[in-house]
Structure 1
Amino acid sequence: MSKPDEIPALSYILEPALVASLLTAGCLLNRRRPADIVQAHAVLRDDPPPAGDNGWNWHEMKFFMWTIKVPGNERFRMKLFSRFLGMFPFLMEVWYWLLTYWIYQIARAIQALTMGADFRSLAETHARQIITIERFFRIDIELGLQHFVMKREWLLIFFNKTYAMVHIPATIAFMAYSYRYFNPLIFQSTRRTLVLCNCLAFIVFSSWPCMPPRLLPYEEFGYVDTLHTGKAASSELQNCGPFQNQLAAFPSLHFGYSFVIGLSLFIYSPHRLIRAISLFYPLLILLVIMATANHYILDAVGGFFVTIFAQRLNRLLLNLRPIEEWFFWVLRIERPMDKVQFQSVIESDKINSPTHREMSQPLMGNHV
C-alpha cells in the first residue's frame, strides 16, 4: 500500500473540493426564484395556519400497510432556513445522497470491524467459485486485461484514477443534471433506484462475501493491486483504512451505478451529445473495475441484476415519507415543495387558455 508521502499532496484537497464543487453547482443550477415559490403556494392556496393555531395540520400518509397521520410543516415557512431550502431544493437531494452514502459506509465499516477469520476464508472460497464459473464459460478476461493495461503506464494511471475519483463525482453530477433536465417523476424513480441498489447490495455481500481478485494469492492467480502504486494512489482510498469492507466484490455497485446513469442519460437526456456518449460510461467502468483487479466480470453481472431488481422495487421507499415529514417537523423546517408538484403548478399557471389548462398534467405529490 502507498505511504502517505507517496500520494500527491493536492489529492487531499482536489478530491474533496471536486465533490463540494459539484454539490454547490447542483444547488445553483436547480435554484428556484422566490417569485415562483410564492406563485406556486398562491395557486395551491397553500397557506400557513392562522395565528394562534397549533399548526399541526394533520394529514394522512401511507406507511407500508398502514395509514398514519403526520403533521404539516407549513407554519415554519417564513423561517430563514425554510426559505433558504425552498430556494435551493437540490439541498434535499444532497441530504438524501449523504444519508444513503454514510449509512452504507457505516454499515460496511461495522461489518469490516466485526468479521472474523471465517468470513475471510468464506469470501476467498466464493471468489474461487466465481473464477471457476468464468473459466467454464471462458469469460475469465480480467487477468489478460490487467496485463494489457499494466504494459501502458498512462492507461494504468488513467484507470486507477478513474476507479478512485470518478464514481462519486459522476454520481453527483448525474443527480444535479437529471434533477434539472429529466421529467421529475423519472428523476425520482431513478434516485430511488440508486438508493435501493445500496440496500440490496449490502444484503448480498453481507450474506455472500466475495474477495476481489487483487486480494487473492498472487502466486496462484497473478492479480496485482494496481490502486496502491505511488503515482496513482488516491487519498480517498488511502483514508479508508480498517473501516472498509474489502470483501464485498459481488455485486459491483461501481458498475451498477454506471449502468443506471448511462442508460438513463441515453433514454431521457434532452441533449444529443450526452445521449451519444452516455453508454460509454458503463463500458469504461466495466473495463476499469476489471483492469484494477477490484471486480470480476460476474460482479458486473450481479450489479446489473441488482439495479434491475431495485428499479422494480424502488416505490417501496415511498413508504418512508412519513418519517421524513416527522423529521422536518422536529427540526421546525418546512419541506420544499415537491418538484413534480412545483413544476406542474408553475407550468399550468403560465397557460391562460382553458383548453390548455384541461390538457395540463394533474398535480402530484407524496413522492420521496
Structure 2
Amino acid sequence: MTATLAPTGVRDDASPTAEAAGRGFLLRSFARPVWWVEILILAVLYGVYSLVRNSVGDVVARAYANGREILAVEDAWGLALERGLNDWVHRTDVVAGAVALHYATLHFLVTPAVLAWLFVRRPTRYRAASGILMVTTALALIGFYSLPTAPPRLLADEGFVDVMSQTSAWGWWPASGSPGSDALSNQFAAMPSLHCAWAAWCGVVLVLLVRRTWVRVVAMVYPFSTFFVVLGSGNHYILDVLAGVVVLCVGASVVQVAGSAGGRLPGPGRSSGDDAAALVSRS
C-alpha cells in the first residue's frame, strides 16, 4: 500500500477514490488528535450517554403506548417488516442464535474498533468522523429521553417473540442483549436505533477510507446485517431503523455546518495552514 503524507507530515494512506469522495466539505481540525485527550472525551461522553440512556424514570405505560402507536402506524402503511422477520428468526434455532450473537457483540466491538483505526491510520479524518458519531449519539439520547418506546419483543400480545430472552441461556448476554445487567439497562431506549445509526456510520467510514475491496464489501454488508438483526430479534421497529439513519444524516450535517463555520482557526499542535479533509458522505 502506497502511503502519502498529509500537509503536516502525518501518515494518511487513504485511497484517491476516498479522497475524492471526502471533499463534500472541509473541516479544520488538529493534524493528529492527542490520544489521552480523546480517551478522556470518550469516557466522559460514555458516562453521560449511560446516565441519560438509563434514566427513564416511571415511563413504562408511556413506553408501551408509544411502541403500540409506532406499530399501528407501520401496520397502516404496510411497513411492519419486523413481524415476519421475527417470526422466521425465532423458529430457526441456528438463525436465532446467530442474530442474538450479532446483536449482543458487534455493536459494542465494531464501533470502538473503527474509532481506534481512524485514530491510528486516518488521524486527519478522525476529528470529523468522531464528531459525527458523537453528535448522532447526542441526538439519539434526546429521542430516548423524550420518546421512551417499548420494543417489539416486549409486545408478546402482538405476536412477537423475545429472541434475546429465548437464546440468553446459550450465551453470556442477558435477556435484553445489553453488555450489562438488565436491571441497569434501559429497555425503552429504542427510538431511534443507535445500533443502526452506529452501524451505518461504521459502514460509511470504512467504504470511504479503506482501500481493500473485501473490507469495503464487508463494510457495506455490516449495516444491512444490523438492520436485519435488530428487526428479526424484535429489538426495533422499522421506523426505529429509519430514524437511526436519519439521525446519522442530521449528525453529519451538523458537523459539516460546524466545520464550514469554523474557518481556519488554528488550535494546539496545528498551524492555520493545516487543512484536514473531513469524512463526508458521497454527494
Query: How high is the TM-score relative to the length of structure 2?
Result: 0.75
Q: Distance in 1 between matches of 2:180 and 2:139?
A: 25
**Secondary structure of 2:178 counterpart:** helix
Query: RMSD across aligned C-alpha pairs, in angstroms?
Result: 3.0
Instruction: Work out whether 1:137 is the aligned partner of 2:74.
Output: no
What CA distance in whole angstroms lies between the structure 1 residues aligned with 2:200 and 2:68? 26
Q: 2:128 aligns with which of 186, 189, 197?
A: 189
* Mapping 1:192-271, distance limit 5 Å: 192-216=131-155, 218=156, 220-228=157-165, 229-234=168-173, 237=178, 239-271=180-212
Q: Which amino acid aligns with 1:140?
A: A
Structure-2 residue corresponding to 1:279: 220
Query: CA distance change for structure 1 residues 223 and 140 in 2, over 3 Å: closer, same or farther?
Result: same
> 1:150 and 1:126, CA in 2 relative to 1: closer, same or farther beyond 3 A?
same
- Following superposition, the deviation at residue 317 of structure 1 comes to 7.8
Deviation at 1:91, TM superposition (A): 4.0
Call closer, same or farther: CA 1:155–1:337 in 2, change over 3 Å: farther
The residue number in structure 1 matching 2:243 is 302
C-alpha change, 1:317 and 1:167, in structure 2 (3 Å) is farther
Match of 2:114 in 1: 174
Cα deviation, 1:264-301, whole Å, max 9, x if unaligned, reads 21122222221122110000100111111110111010
Percent sequence identity is 24
Whole-angstrom CA distance in 1 between matches of 2:212 and 2:37: 25
Q: Is the 8 A contact 2:82 2:234 kept in 1?
A: yes
Question: Partners in 1 of 2:152 and 2:52 — Cα distance?
Answer: 23
CA shift at 1:196, angstroms? 1.1
SS at match of 1:124: helix
Deviations 1:319-343 (A, max 9, x none): xxxxxxxxxxxxxxxx9846xx6xx
SS at match of 1:300: helix
2:42 to 97, 105, 121: 97
Q: Distance in 1 between matches of 2:268 and 2:210?
A: 25
The whole-number CA distance in structure 2 between the counterparts of 1:176 and 1:274 is: 16
The separation in 2 between residues aligned to 1:316 and 1:95, in whole angstroms, is 25
Partners of 2:170 and 2:245 lie apart in 1 by: 32
CA distance in 1: counterparts of 2:74 and 2:273, whole angstroms: 51
Show the counterpart of 1:358: none
* In 1: Cα distance, 2:68 partner to 2:203 partner: 31
State the match for 1:106 in structure 2. Answer: 51
Task: Give TM-score, length-normalised by structure 1.
Answer: 0.58
Partner of 2:14: none
- Which residue is 2:17 aligned to? none
CA distance in 1, matches of 2:200, 2:46: 18
Q: Distance in 2 between matches of 1:292 and 1:232?
A: 15
Equivalent residues of 2:90, 2:161 under 8 A apart: no
Q: Which structure carries more helix by proportion? A: 1
Alpha-carbon distance in structure 1 between the residues aligned to 2:146 and 2:134? 19
Partner of 1:363: 274
Maintained 8 Å contact 1:181/1:270: no
Look up the SS of the partner of 1:234 in the other structure.
Answer: coil
Q: Which amino acid aligns with 2:221?
A: F
- Distance in 2, Cα, partners of 1:167 & 1:96: 20
Letter in structure 1 aligned against 2:43 = L
Q: Measure the CA separation in 1 of the matches of 2:215 and 2:41.
A: 25
Which runs of structure 2 are paired with 1:9-158 in the superposition (5 Å)? Answer: 89-109=34-54, 111-112=55-56, 115-116=57-58, 119-158=59-98
Query: Could you say if the C-alpha distance between residues 362 and 247 of structure 1 is closer, same or farther in structure 2, counting changes exceeding 3 Å?
Result: same
- 1:96 to 1:134, Cα distance in 2 relative to 1, 3 A: same
SS of 1:363's equivalent in the other structure is coil
Range with greater deviation from structure 2 (158-167 or 230-239)? 230-239
Aligned residue for 1:250, secondary structure, equals coil
Which of 104, 116, 121 pairs up with 1:164? 104
Point out which structure has higher relative CO (alpha carbons under 8 A, 6+ apart).
2
- Partners of 1:107 and 1:310 lie apart in 2 by 18
Q: Is the 8 A contact 1:214 1:224 kept in 2?
A: yes
Check conservation: 2:53, 2:144, Cα contact below 8 A.
no
The Cα of 1:123 is off from its aligned counterpart by 1.4
Partners of 1:253 and 1:239 in 2: CA distance: 17
Q: Structure 1 residues 183 and 273 mapped into 2: Cα distance closer, same or farther (>3 Å)?
A: farther
